[in-house]
Amino acid sequence: MKTAGITIDRRDELDGVLVAHKEAGWTSHDVVAKVRKLLGESKVGHAGTLDPTATGVLPIMVGRATRIAEYLMDWDKEYRAVLRLGETTDTQDASGRVLTKHDPSRVDEGEIRMTVAQFGGVQRQVPPMYSAVKVGGQPLYKAARAGKIIERGERSVIIHELEILDIDGPDVTLRIVCSKGTYVRTLCADIGQSLGVGGHLYALERRRVGPLSIDQALTIDQIAGHLTMGTLQHQFLSLDRLLSQLPAVVVNMEQAQRVVHGNPVSPAGINQLPVSPHPVFVRVKNEAGQLLAIGTHDPTGLGPIKIRKVFSLVTH
């Protein structure tokens, strides 16, 4: 691939995850399409959809990284959200049609703080109608656009941290650290309902996805700039780094040849892997530190590591 007179080895350098900074007005798919066009790479995807009005961290997976999305989905997320009290909307955010209005001055700061504090820990949420959650094989947002209300069950989510950063009239700025599957829109609507005046998500910025921070995030213009200067490869996070939460096992040269062909292996140190009631995912690396594959280890400690996904055929 040639860009601005610079030859880029896409096989090695442009492979991993870019931390993109999604801007307001863009869908997550828009960002993926733009990166795909810039890189000339067909294998581009994202982890953790952001609504068009939201901004912030959007992990963009390129090349082989598109194959590890399932291992990143359990990452927690951190948001900075503005809850506007006194108005409910049909989308639970500022893009929707206003349904009800109440005077937010009816609640004082002490009541707001006391109510917000009750929303920490395990919470039950009903997914909003304007969401991509599927019921009966159909995304809820399609039914919502058709004016339909679909019965949907509650889901358990975890609000790890919930902190009020500022209260300015009807607007309450929140810092939220939560589990996957949490709808911040619904959290804001539920807080407003609990306060008796209603509320909706007025603004949202995702500050972190797992270890990926807003400080690392690049706008599309910055990504294009790095590509032109030939420095974009330095902005990619490797698969090994992204999977660092998985324990690593090292195989010798002979075993490495087995791994890259998808065959099970029993490397030294296998009995030191964590004990778990479920199969343990592990990174399989060669003696040079190169990530070869992801495997699973039987929790009983018996039997070899079974290879699930091979990433490299290079075993030196």
d(CA 12, CA 5): 19
Three-class secondary structure assignment of 253-286: HHHHHHHCCCCCECCCCHHHCCCCCCCEEEEEEC
- State the CB neighbour count (10 A cutoff) for residue 3: 16
Helix (H, G, I), strand (E, B) or coil at 66: helix
> Would you give the distance in Å from CA 299 to the centre of its chain?
28
d(CA 87, CA 195): 12
- State the CB neighbour count (10 A cutoff) for residue 102: 18
Axis-axis angle for helices 184-195, 109-117 (nearest 10): 130
d(CA 194, CA 182): 18
Beta bridge partners of 281: 296
Active site residue 15: no
d(CA 255, CA 272): 18
Backbone angles phi, psi at 180, to 5 degrees: -60, 150
d(CA 71, CA 65): 10
- The single residue of 15, 51, 93, 190 carrying the catalytic annotation is 51
The catalytic site residues sit at: 51
